[in-house]
Amino acid sequence: MSSFFFFNYQGINYNPVQQNSKLEQLATATRDIPTEGEGSFHRTTFGAKADNVEVGMKAGRRGPYLLSDPIMRDKVSHFDHERIPERVVHARGDAAHGFFKLHTSLEDVTHAKVLTDLETEVPMFVRFSSVLGSAGAAETAREVRGFASRFYTEEGNWDIVGNNIPVFFIQDGIKFPDLIHAGKPDPKAGLPQAQTAHDNFWDFISLSEESTHMASWALSDVTIPRSYRMIQGFGVNTFVLVNGEGKRTFVKFHWKPHLGKHSLCWDEALKLGGQDPDYLRRDLQMFIDAGIFPKWELGVQLVAEEDEDKFSFDLLDCTKIIPEEEVPIKWVGTMTLNRTVTDQFAENEQVAFCTQNIVPGIDYSDDPMLHTRNFSYFDTQISRLGGINFSQIPINQPIPQACPFLNTLRDGYSSKVIPNGPNYYPNRFGNNPGPASVAQGGLHHPPYKVGGLRQRELGEKFYEYYDQATLHYNSLSDAEKANLVYTATFELGRCDDRGVQERMMDRFKHIDYDFAKNVAANFGIDVGEPVRQNHGRKTDGENPISMLSKHNIFKAEGRLIAMVAPDGFDYQQAIAIQKAFLALGNIVAVIGTRKGPTYGKNGEQLDTQFTFESARSTLFDSLVFLDGNDQYQKTLQLGRAKHWCIEAYAHFKALAVIGSSAEWASKLIPITNKIDDGKSFSVQDGVVVAPNLTNQDTSLFEKLTHGAYDAATF
Ligand code: HDE
């Protein structure tokens, strides 16, 4: 087990992953480094065994270095060229392998095998990312998140390169360089890193009305996710599905996490940025390696071609969603991520997602962002990955058994194959790499009517900017609306230009008058009268639009639990609780006063993974304070231990305080340690309080863990 995680998992076995065709192909490119025996000698890149890799060749023992030393040159020169340009956006990310299994065929609208074949498990590779931060940026910075997924289908690679927000800032890709320049560090000052909280960014947004809807998302809690395992994914752009008859159907793609959507508190995000800048990648890898595999449902929203114009917005405008109440999402298959990468550079860094990668049965719409993206993603890899042959890099190759190398494309920097056959078509040799008909599984671009005057314009409906921003705002819970005010106050509070602030208040006024007033009050800005009477469509009642609402599902599953067990803890209780949490698919960390052994009240021993000093409550989803003897209680009197409890409570964590810890906690947080006669525990404000708990029955602990999570839903 790798030591890059916080600890070795107790009670959970690393789950060896079944092979799939993509992993088999990657295995052929993997070079295992032997640790002993004949093969363990360092070989130069030209294959010779080095006689010394630590001391170079000199003219005389203390003399100058000799340039003729081939081993030093080989080693140092390779090192000199190790770095490649980081992605111009989405530089910081983490990736994992997995598979997709379709459960509901879409055969009436597409002939794509991946969306019609219920039998095959399709290998996948997924990369999660943040957008503006450079490759080393802290992962809990407030950022939009990338969700790029690749299906290695038998018909070729299909990429859905999405985000965790269903819309985008701009409508036409030609503006993308300006948007990103405004968000990235200021060219003179070189700051801030991984932040939108600065004048340039909000300047651009305040001058781009179309950004208002996306801005309402960027300011919401989704930009500080608790885990990549708990984010949604959206293809954002409208694609097209094509069936065997050539009928076209518009489609939007969705990924829904089985664990529910879950965000950090801002205070947690800020602290974690320092405590563990790798928080999200560590989390992803830790759970996958523990065999607790994250899963997502793939959903589609389908619109028949003839219904294209029936909406109040344009289907080609990616600043708009298709509200679920108008077109429900059909859930069709499940993605499971079950293997972490072997080498970050070879896989995470070299993967080249391209929106243009589609398979037969899938086509593009005329979304102007999508077309720019189809150009850009391919184009950027040519400089990022050093030439046109990036598709030959193992992680980018289609599955060779199903999609063998067969074309007349040749040469270019770093070609990794030795093509043996004709390099032009048609030819006289008989083995023509020629085109495939639809029946033979060829890409199918059925005709449809385009036309009109050549012009630099957008569809008429693109010019309505606010209805859906209001719709989004209206669908937030009260807590989320309050957070939106705090976040806007923070972001604009980091701007110094009064004009930027005033223009943003005006934008906010178009979203919601009260929202604008609440933010403006923190800047001493008078927002004046409401800008418009019609605030767009409202959602009635409790979040009827599930895509928009937060749907915070707190489950005692896939969580990281801290069990506080300094010397003197109740060992039987600790073991029962640990088992109950593990059985539900969680990871349990033991916290003590020393790294290494901690001792129960009868001298029993457990290993700790953390001490109160080496971690903070922020790292965990849930904290359990056990029952313990006087020594245990004495330790809990430490300021740091109290801080763990108070801080976790303030961050809405699910907490359990058992036996003597209940009384201790009742002096720190607003709970009472008195519970009704005959009850084992009570749930108060997200805290399970169990002062008299002596029962060692596992099922009670299971209930207890669920109790805390149910109560923590706000
Ligand atoms: Fe990207 N985007 N993008 N983008 N994007 C890139 O491609 C670009 C857009 C997204 O994990 C780059 O391979 C343009 C929307 C993700 O490797 C680059 C436009 C959405 C990733 C690029 C957009 C995204 C990228 C940089 C306006 C949400 C990370 C490196 C038309 C659906 C993929 C690379 C990964 C990456 C350009 C707009 C998401 C430069 C020109 C909308 C998740 O090609």
* 175 within 8 A of 369, measured Cβ to Cβ: no
Protein residue closest via CA to atom 23 of ligand 1: 373
Min mean pLDDT across 53-62, 126-135, 361-370, 398-407 is at 398-407
pLDDT of residue 476: 86
pLDDT of residue 554: 59
pLDDT of residue 697: 55
> Residue 308 and residue 645: Cα distance in Å, rounded?
54
Distance from the alpha carbon of residue 552 to the mean position of ligand 1, in angstroms: 28
Helix, strand, coil percent content, the chain, rounded in steps of 5: 30, 15, 50
> CATH fold of 93-396, please?
Catalase HpII,  Chain A, domain 1 (2.40.180)
Ligand 1, residue 129: give the atom nearest the CA. 11
* Residue in 197, 239, 242, 189 with CA at minimum distance from that of residue 215: 197
Q: What is the mean pLDDT of residues 514-541?
A: 80
Query: Bridge partners of 128?
Result: 94, 147
Distance from the alpha carbon of residue 168 to the mean position of ligand 1, in angstroms: 11
Counting residues of the chain whose pLDDT is more than 90, the rounded percentage is 79
Residue with tokens 């885990």: 227
CA 35 to chain centre: 35
Q: Give ligand 1 pocket residues (Cβ under 6 A).
A: 87-90, 93, 127, 129, 146, 148, 161-163, 168, 173, 176, 236, 318, 351-353, 369, 372-373, 376-377, 380
Most ligand 1 atoms within 8 A of CB, residue of 84, 86, 89 to mutate: 89
Binding positions for heme are: 377
Give Cα separations from 546 to 20, 255, 301 (angstroms): 34, 13, 13
* 217 within 8 A of 167, measured Cβ to Cβ: yes
> Residue 236 and residue 163: Cα distance in Å, rounded?
7
Residue with tokens 């939108």: 196
- The tens digit of pLDDT for each residue in 650-705 reads 998 888 999 999 999 999 999 999 888 878 788 888 888 988 876 555 556 666 66
Listed as own residue / partner, the contacts of 380-386 with beta carbons closer than 8 Å and 24 or more positions apart are 380/87, 380/88, 381/352, 381/354, 383/85, 384/84, 384/85, 384/87, 384/88, 384/352, 385/84, 385/350, 385/352, 386/84, 386/413, 386/414
Q: At 545, is the pLDDT very low, low, confident or very high (cuts 50, 70, 90)?
A: very low
Q: Is the pLDDT of residue 709 over 60?
A: no
Q: CB-based contacts of 537: which residues, under 8 Å, 6+ apart? A: 323, 467, 470, 471
Protein residue closest via CA to atom 3 of ligand 1: 373
Count the alpha carbons within 13 Å of 252 in the hemisphere toward its beta carbon: 27
pLDDT of residue 551: 44
pLDDT of residue 40: 84
pLDDT of residue 550: 45
Q: Is the pLDDT of residue 537 over 70?
A: no
Residues spanned by CATH 3.40.50.880 within the chain?
A: 560-712
As a CATH number, domain 31-80 is: 4.10.91
Q: CB-based contacts of 21: which residues, under 8 Å, 6+ apart? A: 123, 152, 399, 401, 402
Distance from the alpha carbon of residue 384 to the mean position of ligand 1, in angstroms: 13
Tally of residues, the chain: 714
Protein residue closest via CA to atom 27 of ligand 1: 173
- The tens digit of pLDDT for each residue in 257-310 reads 999 888 999 999 999 999 999 999 999 999 999 999 999 999 999 999 999 999
pLDDT of residue 546: 45
Residue with tokens 């809690």: 221
Amino acid of residue 4: F
Q: Is the pLDDT of residue 324 over 90?
A: no
Q: Is the pLDDT of residue 178 over 50?
A: yes
* 12 within 8 A of 5, measured Cβ to Cβ: no
Q: What is the mean pLDDT of residues 200-211?
A: 98
Both structure tokens of 398: 């289609």
Distance from the alpha carbon of residue 89 to the mean position of ligand 1, in angstroms: 7
Give Cα separations from 683 to 648, 678, 704 (angstroms): 16, 14, 9
Protein residue closest via CA to atom 39 of ligand 1: 162
Protein residue closest via CA to atom 42 of ligand 1: 168
- The tens digit of pLDDT for each residue in 121-166 reads 999 999 999 999 999 999 999 999 999 999 999 999 999 999 999 9
pLDDT of residue 533: 53
Q: What is the mean pLDDT of residues 550-579?
A: 85
Reported as type and span, the H/E element at residue 127 is strand 121-130
Residues spanned by CATH 4.10.91 within the chain?
A: 31-80
Binding positions are: 377
Annotated catalytic residue, options 20, 157, 163, 200:
163
Most ligand 1 atoms within 8 A of CB, residue of 86, 90, 371 to mutate: 90
- The tens digit of pLDDT for each residue in 110-119 reads 999 999 999 9
- The tens digit of pLDDT for each residue in 45-86 reads 999 999 999 999 999 999 999 999 999 999 999 999 999 999
Protein residue closest via CA to atom 32 of ligand 1: 162
Protein residue closest via CA to atom 18 of ligand 1: 377
Ligand 1, residue 162: give the atom nearest the CA. 32
Q: Is the pLDDT of residue 713 over 50?
A: no
Protein residue closest via CA to atom 31 of ligand 1: 173
Q: Name the CA radius of gyration of the chain, rounded.
A: 28
Ligand 1, residue 163: give the atom nearest the CA. 28
* Residue in 199, 205, 145 with CA at minimum distance from that of residue 170: 205
Q: At 541, is the pLDDT very low, low, confident or very high (cuts 50, 70, 90)?
A: very low
Q: Is the pLDDT of residue 210 over 90?
A: yes
Is residue 163 annotated as a catalytic residue, yes or no? Answer: yes
Q: Is the pLDDT of residue 539 over 60?
A: no
* Residue in 416, 414, 417 with CA at minimum distance from that of residue 81: 414
Q: At 33, is the pLDDT very low, low, confident or very high (cuts 50, 70, 90)?
A: confident
> Residue 634 and residue 568: Cα distance in Å, rounded?
10
Between residues 181 and 324, the one the model is more confident about: 181
Distance from the alpha carbon of residue 377 to the mean position of ligand 1, in angstroms: 7
SS (H, E, C) 536-573: CCCCCCCCCCCCCCCCCCCCCCCCEEEEECCCCECHHH
Ligand 1, residue 175: give the atom nearest the CA. 27
Amino acid of residue 605: Q
pLDDT of residue 702: 64
Q: CB-based contacts of 167: which residues, under 8 Å, 6+ apart? A: 213, 214, 217, 236, 318, 319, 320, 321, 468
Q: At 169, is the pLDDT very low, low, confident or very high (cuts 50, 70, 90)?
A: very high
Distance from the alpha carbon of residue 131 to the mean position of ligand 1, in angstroms: 9
Ligand 1, residue 352: give the atom nearest the CA. 13
Count the alpha carbons within 13 Å of 254 in the hemisphere toward its beta carbon: 24
pLDDT of residue 532: 67
Amino acid of residue 586: N
Q: What is the dihedral of CA 313, 319, 323, 327, to 10 degrees?
A: 70
Distance from the alpha carbon of residue 222 to the mean position of ligand 1, in angstroms: 19
Most ligand 1 atoms within 8 A of CB, residue of 124, 143, 353 to mutate: 353
Q: What is the mean pLDDT of residues 609-634?
A: 96
Q: Is the pLDDT of residue 8 over 60?
A: no
Ligand 1, residue 89: give the atom nearest the CA. 26
Distance from the alpha carbon of residue 16 to the mean position of ligand 1, in angstroms: 33
Residues spanned by CATH 2.40.180.10 within the chain?
A: 93-396
> Residue 339 and residue 288: Cα distance in Å, rounded?
6
* Residue in 501, 559, 546 with CA at minimum distance from that of residue 525: 501
> Is it true that domain 560-712 has CATH number 3.30.1380.20?
no
Reduce the DSSP state of residue 150 to 3 states and report it: strand
Q: Is the pLDDT of residue 544 over 50?
A: no
- The tens digit of pLDDT for each residue in 419-470 reads 999 999 999 988 778 889 988 999 989 999 998 999 999 999 999 999 999 9
